[in-house]
Amino acid sequence: MTTVAGALTTVKRRPLLLRRPTKTTGAFSWFTTIDHKKIGIMYCATAMLFFLVGGLEALLIRLQLAGPNGTVVTAAQYNELFTMHGTTMVFLVGMPMAVGIANYFVPIMIGARDVAFPRLNAFGFYVVVAGGIFLYSSWIPGINGVPNGGWFGYTPLTDTPLTAGFLPGRGPDFWTVGVVMLGIGSTTSAINFIVTILNLRAPGMTLMRMPVFVWMMLVVAFLTVFAMPIITVALIMVFFDRNYGSLFFQASAGADPLLYQHLFWLFGHPEVYILILPGMGIVSEILPVFSRKPLFGYSVVVFSGIAIGFLGWGVWAHHMFATGLGPVAISAFGVSTMLIAVPTGVKIFNWLSTVWRGAVRLTTAMLFALGFIAMFTIGGLSGVLHSVVPSDTQQTDTYFVVAHFHYVLFGGLLFGVFGGFYYWLPKVYGRMLDERVGKINFWTMLIGFNLTFFPMHFVGLYGMPRRTYRYDAGLGWDAWNLVETIGAFVIAVSTLIFLANIIVSIMLKRGAVAGDDPWDGRTLEWTTTSPPPDYNFADIPEIEGRDAHWHHKYTEDEEGRLMPLPSGGAAAAAEGDGHHDGIHMPSPSIYPLITGLGLLPLGYAAVYHSFAWLGVGVVVLLYGLYAWAIEPGTEPDESDHGGGAPARVPEPVH
Amino acid sequence: MATIEQTTEIGAPAHRGASPGHDPHATATGVPNTKLAMWIFLASDCLFFGAFIATYLLYRGRDKVGPGPKELFDIPFTSATSFILLMSSLTMVLALAAIQRGDERRLRIWLLATALLGATFIAGQVFEFTEFNHEGLNLNTNLFGSTFFILTGFHGAHVTAGIIWLMSLWGMASQGRLKQGDSEKVEIAGLYWHFVDVVWIVIFTVIYLVPQPAAPGGG
Amino acid sequence: MRLQRTRRELHTRWWIPALATLALVLTACSTESGPENRQNPLRPKGEYAEKIDDLFGPVFWVSVVIGVLVVAATVLVAVKFRTRKGEDVRPKQTHGSTPLEIGWTILPAVILLAVAVPTVSTIFSLDEEPINPVEVTAVAKQWWWQFDYPRDDNGKKVVTANDMHIPVDRDVLVTLTACDESLPNTVGTETPGCNVLHSFWVPELAGKRDVVPGRENQLKIRADEEGVYVGQCAEYCGLSHANMKFRVIAQSESEYQAWLEAQRADAEVALDDSSDVEELFTAKFQCTNCHTSEDSSLSTYGPNLTHFASREVFASGYYELTRERLIEWLLDAPSLIPMQSDDCRLGSPGSVEGAICVGMPSFTKNPPEGADGQRFPAMKHEEAEILADYLLSLT
């Protein structure tokens, strides 16, 4: 880090204000860092941790269901497990994993040095951490509050006050408050992404030159910004119903419990695309690199992503086909749901055409990307079956649906994410992951995944309802359920193989040194060093076309074939070394951490109606905010201390 | 969350490799980061209030017991407090104009005036809530009680956050730490404040002005 | 430097996983209708379920074909265009193709249109008014189903639980409700209390329809064959959601009418004021707080027991009715069906003070408090036998 500490001394110290930290190395620096790359790593590490926790919950669920009338867990525990599994995988794995990868790579891919609001970025991360801690603290003995109303939290089960006894304990209270906290975290990070992507693009990086992953994250950020307030409102109403006797979903008072479902799915369906679009983006980066061809139909892939983002708002009621909305409404939503299959199909055809006649390298990343296409297609097709409303009334709330969304979210998002890890971790740590182990990882994951989730199609079609802690013997579901359980353990083994690969290759530094551009990459992140310097680029790059780094290395001959440029390689990008003394990165700050964790006591205050917790929370939050506001910056006030080549300011595109 | 937006870039250096002589706020779109962020936040907040207002509209007239709006509303009183809130948008504009001119004294006056007008509105809301409470309307009385208190209450919370924000700016201005070059900070706060006012116009129209169906069991 | 791709033979081992998957899919699909488990939507036994299945079948197979093609294409492109390590293949840089893009936008749209038309027409045909239907009201409770049959000329309805009798070859219009006068109203209005969402699902007779408090959803079902069909709650409804099953017993019209007549009658074995049974049933264990055994027209908090012995299943519809099971149930019901009946106050379901028992309490482990605030004495095995014999006499 090349901050100019001298500037600090001129700033008068204020009472109660901690000295702004300057260290960017060492263990403590992780708590104060506002470097988008470190925050990205922390997001991914946190999400990976919760992936293990949520996976453990899944294994318990599968153990319970391995045979008929299982007794591994009680009914109450089972309901807690599937609620926490769903909530964890959606809010604490899927979203933070994508946000983490995007945090690291979006600024680099658009040629920026950081996100628009580095401290807000850190704050968003700590809010997610606080939300995770809060949700999981409900498992502390004596709290009696593990969420047990499902990740969807349908009313009136969840909003009926304790005294009516439908859901004993404080489970839904922890769930509503926890999810609101996670919503605050993801909204701040989404706002940050939008501003970063729109405002901080390097000169020449027009919108239609941006990598597809960046595009997809832009769509995701907009979806997040508009979807999160809706569920926040629904959760606020549930919370007030449970705790303060309001009547938002109490039918006896004239209210309509279905309103909650409308609000929830008005959030929930865009949420599905919030989860899957990053996976589509990652795959759109991996496939061209390992096919040595540009993405086929770039603009179509981009626009179909945007189309999915828009159409995603018009299909929410397909989660409610059995609720009795009337034939006209369900016909309309059935057709709109079919409509969304069109842009999705278009993407799949474009991906396949990208690989077609390419020079395919079957690296682990590529295998995961191809696995994504296949698995996501299966999930998409079972989704089309759900849009056939009458048959959905047989399939909804059965294991067929469980199979469907695991193919979309695990076969889709997580295969994309794993591919992304194999693709990008060499950039992050400068070490390659072991490819042989990686292939074992991929094949075990693919086999385990299909063993687990493919039979769910069958048992679902054979009438097995979901969210049931036991089933009777002799219904023709037993064998398939056993297969599913075995598959779940294969996935677990595969996950351990992945972690072992990371530990050995990266933590123990046994992996081969990656170099700047190990994959012959196409986008800007491969122009800088592995790992990139704090400031990402010594010189802000000038962008001359899509696949900016590819243009440094290649051109096309008359027949349109790949031709290496004579100068070759990444040399063009390596210039400017030694000129970076003039780059001023913001100093670390402790206040995002303090402010973010300040939400934690506020959460307990809400659940326990406790003024003591409220006081603590307000004091911490206000202290964090004010200190944040008046914390001295580190930019030199008058003069440029480095004197090196002045970095360029992004030019407005218009 | 609003206050988070406010403080985001205060003190955060322009670190995009800006060199002296360049406008540190130059961005690819030409819109300053903080302003763009605030617009996006406000768009998000529209959905927040939109969901509450939709709930209110859906539940209008579905109550099985009173008291309902007809028995409770004091339209002249609420019109007066609404007018006060609207006037605060005017003073907010004057505050921004003052800092853009570099007139720090008027900046302080108008910031304080805006905050005080907002506080008057909140006082009116507190008075109204108390009155309704005395007349038997609570969160748990009927759907009108639930929707009314939660919707207007969350709007009041937004106004309160705005007042704290304005007072913080006023505090900075009083210490002489809000100069002509910092006008963007006032502008961002102004955006938020105007938004909260506009939302109130919608809420006031929907709740108070659109003719009410009579509540059963009510007078 | 080769600009031209060299043709290479394909390694067969790459096809092994692909073929294995295909084999798995086809094997699984060859037993397409699945098990005879009396709740299998792929084995429809009535007109409305058949309509759904007729729609599902073709769309399913079209999806399978598309799925196999895309998966095969994915494997194909990966294998066919694979390069060896270090091989410098320089493919033509294609950026896109407008005709292709238009083509594969239109193609799925056409397929989907072909799916949409029958979908919408089936939706509307399933929504047509039933012809001369039998009307039954299904009241979803925690966690069991109550079935109310229409009032007779004397204004008496028939209330039963867990078993739903219907005539074959006739439309049955099921009105679904989660609100009932037997349920506590917790919000202070003078309307029936409601519980939570449930979903009424008899897979072999119709698709599912949710039971939504405050709404009266209706569902048409119809059985073409006499028989017993299993139904199950399909919307998560709390602790014992998994156990909330029921039976639909389709009989000939005459058998159905005979059953209905028998159900309308008062209990054949009335409680004798001086008997042991009366003492146990009414006083000692206060069963009458939640049940009745004398009037089949009453909707009660727990199942109406007037013709209890005529039913196939009991205890949330999860267990076949046998004497041993019934004794077990009477002694310690939550060990069979988990229920929220610990530390609750029995006999005051209309009260909002203190937790209300949801479901049958245990009379041996942690017995509940009665309406008088006193804890019940533990039930002895002999007492359970006496009660069981009494209940099994209620035909």
Distances (CA, A) of B81 to A642, B88, B151, C193: 56, 11, 17, 40
C148 shares a domain with C253: yes
Question: With 0-12 CB in 10 A as exposed, 13-18 as middle and 19+ as buried, what is A26?
Answer: exposed
CB atoms within 10 A of CB A385: 20
Q: Which residues of B touch A245 (CB under 8 A)?
A: 138-140
Q: Is C270 within the bounds of a domain?
A: no
pLDDT class of C30 with cuts at 50, 70, 90: low
Q: pLDDT per residue over B148-168, tens digit each? A: 999 999 999 999 999 999 999
C145: enclosing H helix or E strand: strand C144-149
CB atoms within 10 A of CB A616: 17
Give the per-residue pLDDT at C7.
43
| Nearest residue of chain C to residue B62 (CA atoms) | C214
CATH number, domain containing residue C226: 2.60.40.420
Contact of B136 with chain C, judged by CB distance below 8 Å, is answered with no
Distance from CA of C219 to the nearest CA of A (A): 9
Give the per-residue pLDDT at A612.
96
Give the per-residue pLDDT at A523.
96
Q: Which residues make beta-bridge pairs with C164?
A: C248
Q: pLDDT per residue over A457-515, tens digit each? A: 999 999 999 999 999 999 999 999 999 999 999 999 999 999 999 999 999 999 999 99
Report the SS3 class of residue B137.
coil
CB A343 within 8 A of CB A308: yes
The C residues from 176 to 195 touching B (CB cutoff 8 Å) are: 187-191
Residue with tokens 């490819």: A435
Q: Is C116 within the bounds of a domain?
A: yes
A377: enclosing H helix or E strand: helix A364-387
CA distance C294 to C307: 9
Asked whether the predicted pLDDT for residue B3 surpasses 60, the reply is no
Distances (CA, A) of C255 to C148, C158, C228, C356: 18, 16, 14, 40
Structural domain boundaries enclosing C212: 134-264
Tokens of B142: 């009927």
CA distance A536 to C245: 61
Instruction: Compare CB distances from B4 to A188, A244, A654 and report the shortest one's residue.
Output: A188
Q: How many domains does chain C have?
A: 3
**Do residue C189 and residue B140 have CB atoms under 8 angstroms apart?**
no
Report the SS3 class of residue A352.
helix
Residue ranges of the alpha helices (H) in chain B? 2-7, 33-59, 69-72, 75-101, 104-134, 143-174, 183-204
Report the SS3 class of residue A182.
helix
Q: Which residues of B touch C215 (CB under 8 A)?
A: none
Which chains does chain A touch, 3 or more C-beta pairs < 8 A? B, C
C237 shares a domain with C208: yes
Mutate to test the interface with C, among B59, B62, B63, B65 (most CBs of C within 10 A): B65
Instruction: Compare CB distances from A476 to C35, C75, C209 and report the shortest one's residue.
Output: C35
Which has more confidence, C236 or C346? Answer: C236
Strand order in the sheet with C144-149: C158-161, C144-149, C134-141, C172-177, C217-221
Distance from CA of B214 to the nearest CA of C (A): 17
Distance from CA of B137 to the nearest CA of C (A): 14
Asked whether the predicted pLDDT for residue B169 surpasses 80, the reply is yes
Q: Is C5 within the bounds of a domain?
A: no
Give the per-residue pLDDT at C25.
66
CATH number, domain containing residue C332: 1.10.760
Name the nearest CA neighbour of A186 among A219, A153, A228.
A228
Q: Which residues of B touch A528 (CB under 8 A)?
A: none
CA distance A2 to A5: 9
Tokens of A315: 């299909």
CA distance C354 to C369: 11
CB A223 within 8 A of CB A274: yes
Give the per-residue pLDDT at C170.
96
Give the per-residue pLDDT at C371.
66
CB A65 within 8 A of CB A486: no
| Nearest residue of chain A to residue B12 (CA atoms) | A633
C286 shares a domain with C250: no
Q: pLDDT per residue over C311-321, tens digit each? A: 999 999 999 99
With a cut of 50, which residues of chain A have pLDDT below it?
Answer: 1-11, 568-578, 635-654
State phi, psi for C249 to the nearest 5 degrees.
-105, 110
Contact of A306 with chain C, judged by CB distance below 8 Å, is answered with no
Q: Which residues of C touch A352 (CB under 8 A)?
A: 70, 73-74, 77
Give the per-residue pLDDT at A583.
77
Q: Which residues of A touch B137 (CB under 8 A)?
A: none
C259 shares a domain with C177: yes
pLDDT class of B19 with cuts at 50, 70, 90: very low
C258 shares a domain with C140: yes
CB C346 within 8 A of CB C289: yes
Q: pLDDT per residue over C38-85, tens digit each? A: 999 999 999 999 999 999 999 999 999 999 999 999 999 999 999 988
- What is the average per-residue pLDDT within C176-196? 85
Distance from CA of C388 to the nearest CA of A (A): 25
Give the per-residue pLDDT at C348.
46
Distance from CA of C30 to the nearest CA of A (A): 12
Provide DSSP, C181-218. Answer: TTSPP-SSSSS-EE---EEE--TTT---EEE-TT--EE
Which has more confidence, C245 or A21? Answer: C245
**Do residue C34 and residue A461 have CB atoms under 8 angstroms apart?**
yes
A326: left (phi over 0), alpha (psi -120 to 50) or beta: left
Which has more confidence, A135 or B25? Answer: A135
SS3 content of chain A, % helix, strand, coil (to 5): 65, 0, 35
A134: left (phi over 0), alpha (psi -120 to 50) or beta: alpha
Give the per-residue pLDDT at A241.
93
Q: pLDDT per residue over C367-381, tens digit each? A: 877 666 777 889 999
**What angle (nearest 5°) sits at the alpha carbon of residue A278, between those of residues A272 and A281?**
130
C180 shares a domain with C144: yes
**Do residue A652 and residue B28 have CB atoms under 8 angstroms apart?**
yes
| Nearest residue of chain B to residue C191 (CA atoms) | B64
Lowest-confidence pick of A557-571, B163-177, C7-21 = C7-21
**Do residue B65 and residue C191 have CB atoms under 8 angstroms apart?**
no
pLDDT class of C87 with cuts at 50, 70, 90: confident
Q: pLDDT per residue over C250-287, tens digit each? A: 999 999 999 999 999 877 766 776 678 888 998 888 88
Domain end position, chosen among C264, C286, C301 = C264
Q: Which residues of A touch C37 (CB under 8 A)?
A: 462-463, 474-477
Q: Is C383 within the bounds of a domain?
A: yes
Distance from CA of A311 to the nearest CA of C (A): 15
Distance from CA of C193 to the nearest CA of B (A): 14
Which chains does chain C touch, 3 or more C-beta pairs < 8 A? A, B
Alpha-carbon Rg for chain C, nearest whole angstrom, is: 29
Contact of B65 with chain C, judged by CB distance below 8 Å, is answered with yes
C188 shares a domain with C98: no
CA distance C74 to C56: 26
CA distance A571 to A575: 7
Tokens of A381: 């097709």
**Do residue C71 and residue A374 have CB atoms under 8 angstroms apart?**
yes
CA distance C111 to C271: 66
Contact of B105 with chain C, judged by CB distance below 8 Å, is answered with no
**Do residue C190 and residue B140 have CB atoms under 8 angstroms apart?**
no
Distance from CA of A100 to the nearest CA of C (A): 29
State phi, psi for C270 to the nearest 5 degrees.
-85, 155
Q: Could you tell me the residue ranges of all domains in chain B?
A: 29-59+75-209
C289 shares a domain with C230: no
Q: Is C185 within the bounds of a domain?
A: yes
A415: enclosing H helix or E strand: helix A415-429
CA distance A27 to C318: 56
Q: Does domain B29-59+75-209 have CATH number 3.30.365.10?
A: no
Q: Is C22 within the bounds of a domain?
A: yes
Q: Is C271 within the bounds of a domain?
A: no
CA distance B181 to C107: 58
Q: Is C7 within the bounds of a domain?
A: no
pLDDT class of B17 with cuts at 50, 70, 90: very low
Name the nearest CA neighbour of A575 among A539, A551, A542.
A539
Contact of C153 with chain B, judged by CB distance below 8 Å, is answered with no
Supply the mean pLDDT for chain C. 87
Distance from CA of C155 to the nearest CA of A (A): 25
**Do residue C236 and residue A330 have CB atoms under 8 angstroms apart?**
no
Q: Which residues of A touch B39 (CB under 8 A)?
A: none
CB C389 within 8 A of CB C395: no
State phi, psi for C169 to the nearest 5 degrees.
55, 35
Q: Which residues of A touch B10 (CB under 8 A)?
A: 628-630
